[in-house]
Amino acid sequence: MAAKTLNIEVGKRVVKICVSEKKGKGYAISESFTFPTPDGCVLDGQVISEVTLGDKLMGELSNRDIKATDVYFSIASSKIATREVTMPAVKDDQIKSIVETNASDYLPIDTSKYALDAILLERTEEECRVLVIAVPNVIIESYIALADYTGLVIQALDFSGNSQFQVLRSIGGDGVNMYVNVDTDSSSVTFVEDGQLLLQRFLPIGGDEMIVRYMGLKSMEDSEYISALGAISETADDIAPTVHAQRKKTSDEDEHDNGEAVVEEDASEYGVHSDDEDEDDGAAEVEEEDADSGDNSAMWGIRGDDTPTYEREENPFPELDDSLTRIVGGIIRSVDFFQGSKYTEKNIEKIVITGSCGHLRGLKTRIFESIGADTYWLEEIKDIKSLANSIDDISIYINCLGARVAPLNLLPADYVARTGKKKSGGINGDNFGIVAIAICAIIALALSGWLIGNNLVKKSKLDKVNAQIDQLAYAEKEYQDYVIYKAGDTELQSFVDGHITRNAEAKDFLEEMEAKMPSDINVLTANFTNEGVSLNVNVPGFEEAANVIRQCRSFESINVIDVSSISRTVAGENGGGNASFSLNCRYKIEETTTQAPETTATEETPAA
């Protein structure tokens, strides 16, 4: 029987855990659950209190009689630095050494304080496109401390962006697929085409703001965080009972069918509603009603023809709408960035929403209305049925499972040596050190005998080699001179690139903004580059939006303006609300010196 392992993602608000095992060429999830993170134990991906969190983790595992000790962690943090780079075509096993050698050129960080690895994105005959990832050592050490305290053995530490990509890349479809992962602490937007990662962006906003505000409105306690998430999620009252009923039916009827893993857990463990006593009755009713069909489509509102539905219902929580607007605004800006980069010619064919907050009420409809591409929840995708035993809430555990598929190599060498992770051939942590020492001793004796017998021959060859080294000593100086020249050239180019700025144009733009823009405009974000300015704005309505766009087109400091689709939020029975949209403005291209005399001549002709 395949060994079971823990797959864990530790967030500031929620800890997600699933138990996976190898099934043929893939993996099956046998158990999965979430629980609220103890207050103050995690900060931006770093475990602050391994004792408090460790005690809670061991208690949750013990309550479910989970005895697996090998663990894969998926880490999400704004402190993790990433950079896409291009390098000459080399073998896969050489990429990491090149990244480590040139890390200071790729990322503006102190590389001694980070663990480095890379993901190969694309390879051609001439070059490799690689995503360089740097994770702070302090974060890695915090997870090692947590594992040591709980008696777990870390098999791999993975970056959440890689975890997502490794799972989602297998989903088929023509054109560009856009995956929106919305969790409590943060969100991410990933663009994939034919299994290749085109772009991945991370947003420092998730569902936490909406959840906390809802808890305040309902006077809920901190311990009810997961219940609050369920309350503001679509079909929140139906998800967990249906999950419980379907899984219990599978346990009774199909325990050994096709060797698939069986899940029998209380529905409340899935982080979608509160633990009310009447939920068991609801589960029984669903089980009785759907026992014959085994159809889970009602749980997610999926239509039989696999066509996504976008039914705009009256928002039962209008007080939370501005929080949802900020989440959608960040997603729209990611799309604008993608389409404004080198992928201008590519169109987004499909949007797939995942994450523990992926079912927030109104999120799916708002994304569809703002971007225009067919929008699905992950559970609506056919290809997901073969993933991880097809558990009903698989989108919650994408990062957990992905950490086992193809994780990064971030573990320190001393930890790997100390834990003695299992090797092929039956050598494990209990006897690996003894066997290794014995093998080294045998090799050392054999080499010693061979060297003694051939000492004279080797000494003669060594003298010849030393003589050749002396003859080629000048080459070392030539190489060092080249290295110094190359470094100076790189620094000079960086200096030149870093000092080509458009400060004057930015100043003119701001002055025109102050002079021409209406007072009711609310600029949420402004991003200034050498090419132009990107704004995310909010105004009371469509008429004001038209006025802002009209005024912006009259600016003398810019000559190109792109406007994203305008999303409208209605508040109250009497109308009102606001409109949100993005403006991408480009500075005017400076006239060349050859054009100046022609302009002067044209202006003087009427005077003559």
**Higher per-residue confidence, 453 vs 116:** 116
Token couple for 215: 């808890």
| Alpha carbon separation from 554 to 137, 172, 548 (Å, rounded) | 51, 45, 10
Reading the block at residue 54, the tokens are 């460790």
Burial class (CB in 10 A: 0-12, 13-18, 19+), 273: buried
Report the pLDDT value the prediction gives residue 267, as an integer from 0 to 100: 28
Secondary structure element (H or E) that encloses residue 152, with its range: none
Which residue stretches of 391-541 are H helix?
398-405, 413-419, 432-453, 455-471, 473-498, 503-516
Architecture of domain 1-170+397-421: 2-Layer Sandwich (3.30)
Superfamily name with CATH number, domain 503-587: General secretion pathway protein M, EpsM (3.30.1360.100)
pLDDT score recorded for residue 142: 96
Contact between 274 and 223 (Cβ < 8 Å):
no
Relative orientation angle of helices 50-63 and 137-150, to the nearest 10 degrees: 50
Q: What is the pLDDT confidence band of residue 530, given thresholds at 50, 70 and 90?
A: confident
Cα separation, 330 vs 187, whole angstroms = 9
CB atoms within 10 A of CB 31: 22
More confident residue, 311 or 210: 210
Range scoring the smallest mean pLDDT among 51-55, 177-181, 207-211, 393-397 = 393-397
Task: Return the bridge partners of 156, or none.
Answer: 72
Residue 179, pLDDT score:
94
pTM: 0.59
Report yes or no: 76 and 187 within 8 Å, Cβ to Cβ: no
pLDDT band at 593 (very low <50, low <70, confident <90, very high): very low
Q: Where are the alpha helices (DSSP H) in 232-320?
A: 236-253, 279-290, 297-300
Q: Residue 391: which pLDDT band, with cuts at 50, 70 and 90?
A: low
pLDDT > 90? residue 151 = yes
Residue bearing tokens 């967030």: 11
Name which residue leads in pLDDT, 487 or 3. Answer: 3
Under 8 Å CB-to-CB from 373, ≥6 apart: which residues?
Answer: 178, 347, 348, 349, 350, 351
**Residue 548 contacts residue 539 (beta carbons within 8 Å):** yes
pLDDT score recorded for residue 573: 53
CA–CA separation, 592 and 223 (whole Å): 65
User: In this model, does residue 562 exceed pLDDT 80?
Assistant: yes
458-506: pLDDT as tens digits? 677 777 777 777 767 667 777 777 777 777 777 676 665 555 567 888 8
For residue 445, the model assigns a pLDDT of: 59
pLDDT of the residue at 440: 54
With 0-12 CB in 10 A as exposed, 13-18 as middle and 19+ as buried, what is 571? middle
Average pLDDT over residues 238-265: 34
Q: Is the pLDDT of residue 420 over 70?
A: yes
- For the ranges 360-369, 392-401, 466-475, the lowest mean pLDDT is seen at 466-475
Residue 187 has pLDDT above 90, yes or no: yes
Determine the pLDDT at residue 266: 32
Question: What pLDDT does residue 588 have?
Answer: 80
Residue 240 CB neighbours (<10 A): 27
Whether the per-residue pLDDT at 82 is higher than 70: the answer is: yes
Please, what's the largest Cα pairwise distance for the chain? 104
In 3-state terms the chain splits into helix, strand, coil percentages (rounded to 5) of 45, 25, 30
CA-based radius of gyration for the chain: 29
Q: Quote the distance between the C-alpha of residue 317 and its chain's center.
A: 28
Domain residue spans in the chain? 1-170+397-421, 431-497, 503-587
Give me the mean pLDDT over the 384-391 stretch: 58
Distances (CA, A) of 141 to 48, 134, 136, 148, 348: 11, 14, 9, 10, 39
Worst-scoring range by mean pLDDT, 45-54, 224-233, 364-373, 490-499?
A: 490-499
Q: What is the mean pLDDT of the chain?
A: 76
Task: Give the mean model confidence (pLDDT) for residues 335-353.
Answer: 89
- Say yes or no to pLDDT of 263 above 60: no
Least confident span in 18-32, 132-146, 486-500: 486-500
Q: Is 286 left (phi over 0), alpha (psi -120 to 50) or beta?
A: alpha
Q: Is 132 within 8 Å of 116 (Cβ atoms)?
A: yes
